[in-house]
Every structure is written in structure tokens, then in C-alpha cells.
């Protein structure tokens, strides 16, 4: 598994992270199986949030780590805070409480990376700054980042927060390309030209923030998995053709498409199926050509100007 440098930090992270959002649906034994498979494939990076399974995903993960024999110091644990029941909360009190809860549930002394999950428009950035400093100085959190933030929201945080924001986790995949569509359709009248994210892709590259692509196999509008889905015949034909060329499966090609972007993103995959994870991990060794990359983009229904 190849690695990337996360933001301006010295942290090396694998091309793929395992998203643990659906881990609450697993037995401890099954969760231990997927963790072991991930570690065997070089995916030692696990993405959590305080709210996944209402906290149960973090708990089952910790139980499963014990059962799998995996070593905490060989893993990177990332979690998120800031989403509550019906509202967002970046208050100092909530951030600190949320981290305490995650530390307990994950059965660990420290979190490697803490992300603010979704922008809270009622945020007081001074409170976030206070919370981050407390967490950093106490050793409870080593690195910080955000999720679903646009560039100006990141800038607002950066004005107050002392720590480097190394990651922005955003939805991205072949059928959710909002962050690059406008950049391919500059100064045009049609729908894809609408800049919906304040150029977060270019901003992240300019400022060396790593984009983590969440839900990489999801179709934007229907929320269905597009791989192997009859509703998207042209895309699946292209994925199958490339799968044949590279000797991997279609999900690996869909992942390789994300990794091919020079922004050097990390893909956060959510499968809880060991065989599927093993196959997807092969994406790390696939380097799609420029022509292949654009052919996949077009096969997903996008028209180049």
C-alpha cells in the first residue's frame, strides 16, 4: 500500500482509510476480521465519528482491536465531533466532552486526528481554538482537521486556531465530482459551471491540506452504490474494461480514479466485507493514464466543454 503525506504534517498515511461508520452492525468477531484484513493490506488508518452508531461503532472497534491483536501504536485513529441530534455544535464544551467520550469508547489515551465534522454556523472560533489547545497540550489529540468545510470556513478557523489543519474530509468519487466540475467548465452558462464549494480542491492543493474522499462509491443523487449497478451501464462498462486491463476489480478502478488525481487524496472506504476490502486495496498499485481518467469521467455522464 502506497502512502501519502497528510497536509503539512510529517504523518504518512496509506492511500486508503477504513471508514468505520457501519461497524456498529457487526459482531466483535466480524469487526476483528475486517480490522485484521485492513492491517494485512496496509490500511492501518481508521476513520470514526462520535455519532457513528450512536457511539457503538467506536466501542465495537475497540473490542475488536483487542480480539484481533492489532497494536494501537501501529494504527492511526481519526474521529470527528460537532454533529448533535438536529444541530451542529463547535462549542468548547461540546468538543472537549466529545473527545472524552471517543477516548473512552475507543479505549485509547490519544486520538491521532480530530476533525470538525460539519460546519456549525454558530461557531465561535475562539472556543474551537481554546478546545484544540487544551486537547493538544494534554496529549489527548495529536493532529486536527475539518470535514465538509469550504475554503473561507477553513480560513476563518485558521485565523484563530494555532494548530495546523491537515485534512478536509469531503464527499468525492466518480459520481460525486462537484469539487472538480466547475474547474472544468470555467466561465460557462451551464449547470456544471456552478461553483458550489468555493474551489475547495484548488484551495486544498494550494494550502497543502489533504482531501479525504468519503463515500467514494456513492451516486450523488440516488445515494446508491454505482459499481455493478445496472442504472449506470456506460460507466460500469468502462470500469470493467479497465479492471480487465489492470487485473483488479471494478471497485479498485473506482478507487484508483480518486487516487490518480494529483491532489493526492486519501480514499475513505466503508465496506465491512473482508473480500471486498482486499480487492479494493489493490487500487493503490494502479496508475490510470490521463486518457483513462477522463474516459471514466465522461462515462459517468459528464460532458467536457
Ligand X SMILES: NC(=O)c1ccc[n+]([C@@H]2O[C@H](COP(=O)([O-])OP(=O)(O)OC[C@H]3O[C@@H](n4cnc5c(N)ncnc54)[C@H](OP(=O)(O)O)[C@@H]3O)[C@@H](O)[C@H]2O)c1
- Catalytic positions, written as ranges: 52
CB 75 within 8 A of CB 117: no
Point out the residue whose Cβ comes nearest to ligand X. Answer: 270
Q: In the complex, what is the shortest distance from the CB of residue 215 to ligand X, in angstroms, rounded to a whole number?
A: 4
Residue 217 near ligand X by CB under 6 A: yes
State residue 25 phi and psi, 5-degree precision. Answer: -85, 0
Residue 22 near ligand X by CB under 6 A: yes
CB 102 within 8 A of CB 117: no
Which residue in 214, 232, 257, 297 binds ligand X (CB under 6 A)?
214
Cell 494550502 identifies what position?
Answer: 207
Q: Which of residues 47-76 bind ligand X (CB under 6 A)?
A: 47
All cell numbers assigned to 151: 475554503
Q: Which of residues 167-196 bind ligand X (CB under 6 A)?
A: 169
Q: Which of residues 76-135 bind ligand X (CB under 6 A)?
A: none
CB 112 within 8 A of CB 17: no
Q: In the complex, what is the shortest distance from the CB of residue 29 to ligand X, in angstroms, rounded to a whole number?
A: 16
Q: In the complex, what is the shortest distance from the CB of residue 132 to ligand X, in angstroms, rounded to a whole number?
A: 18
Write the CB contacts of 88 (distance below 8 Å, at least 6 apart in sequence).
Answer: 82, 117, 118, 119, 120, 121, 122
Task: Find the distance separating the first CA and the last CA of the chain, reported in whole Å.
Answer: 36
Write the CB contacts of 166 (distance below 8 Å, at least 6 apart in sequence).
Answer: 6, 7, 8, 9, 11, 113, 143, 144, 145, 209, 210
Residue 21 near ligand X by CB under 6 A: yes
Q: In the complex, what is the shortest distance from the CB of residue 285 to ligand X, in angstroms, rounded to a whole number?
A: 17
Q: Which region among 97-105, 128-136, 221-229, 290-298 touches ligand X (by CB under 6 A)?
A: 221-229
Q: Which region among 133-141, 154-162, 185-193, 268-276 touches ligand X (by CB under 6 A)?
A: 268-276
Write the CB contacts of 284 (distance below 8 Å, at least 6 apart in sequence).
Answer: 1, 2, 14, 15, 16, 42, 256, 259
Q: Which region among 194-202, 203-211, 238-246, 265-273 touches ligand X (by CB under 6 A)?
A: 265-273
Residue 269 near ligand X by CB under 6 A: yes
Residue 19 near ligand X by CB under 6 A: yes
Provide the 10 A C-beta neighbour count for residue 186: 9
Which residue in 148, 150, 163, 236 binds ligand X (CB under 6 A)?
148
Nearer to ligand X, 175 or 182 (CB): 175
Q: Contact positions toward ligand X, by CB under 6 A?
A: 19-22, 47, 147-148, 169, 214-218, 225, 227-228, 251, 268-273, 276
Amino acid at each position: 500500500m502506497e502512502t501519502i503525506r497528510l497536509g503539512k504534517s510529517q504523518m504518512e498515511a496509506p492511500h486508503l482509510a477504513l471508514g468505520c461508520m457501519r461497524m456498529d452492525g457487526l459482531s466483535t468477531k466480524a469487526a476483528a476480521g475486517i480490522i485484521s484484513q485492513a492491517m494485512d493490506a496496509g490500511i492501518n488508518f481508521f476513520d470514526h465519528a462520535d455519532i457513528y452508531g450512536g457511539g457503538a461503532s467506536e466501542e465495537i472497534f475497540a473490542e475488536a482491536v483487542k480480539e484481533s491483536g492489532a497494536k494501537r501504536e501501529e494504527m492511526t485513529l481519526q474521529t470527528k465531533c460537532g454533529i448533535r441530534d438536529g444541530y451542529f455544535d463547535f462549542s468548547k464544551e461540546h468538543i472537549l466532552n466529545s473527545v472524552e467520550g471517543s477516548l473512552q469508547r475507543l479505549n485509547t489515551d490519544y486520538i491521532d486526528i480530530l476533525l470538525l465534522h460539519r460546519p456549525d454556523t454558530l461557531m465561535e472560533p475562539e472556543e474551537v481554538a481554546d478546545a484544540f489547545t487544551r486537547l493538544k497540550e494534554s496529549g489527548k489529540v495529536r493532529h486536527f482537521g475539518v470535514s465538509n468545510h469550504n475554503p473561507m470556513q477553513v480560513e476563518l478557523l485558521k485565523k484563530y486556531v494555532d494548530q495546523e489543519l491537515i485534512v478536509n474530509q469531503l464527499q468525492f468519487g466518480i459520481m460525486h465530482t462537484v469539487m472538480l466540475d466547475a474547474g472544468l467548465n470555467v466561465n460557462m452558462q451551464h449547470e456544471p459551471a456552478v461553483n458550489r464549494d468555493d474551489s475547495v480542491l484548488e484551495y486544498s492543493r494550494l494550502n497543502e491540506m489533504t482531501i479525504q474522499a468519503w463515500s467514494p462509491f456513492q451516486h450523488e443523487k440516488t445515494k446508491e452504490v454505482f459499481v455493478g449497478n445496472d442504472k449506470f451501464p456506460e460507466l460500469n462498462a468502462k470500469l470493467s474494461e479497465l479492471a480487465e486491463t489492470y487485473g483488479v476489480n471494478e471497485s479498485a478502478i473506482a478507487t484508483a480514479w480518486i487516487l490518480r488525481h494529483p491532489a493526492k487524496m486519501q480514499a475513505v472506504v466503508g465496506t465491512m466485507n473482508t473480500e471486498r476490502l482486499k480487492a479494493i486495496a489493490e487500487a493503490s498499485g494502479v496508475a490510470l493514464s490521463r486518457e483513462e481518467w477522463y474516459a471514466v469521467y465522461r462515462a459517468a455522464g459528464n460532458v467536457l466543454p
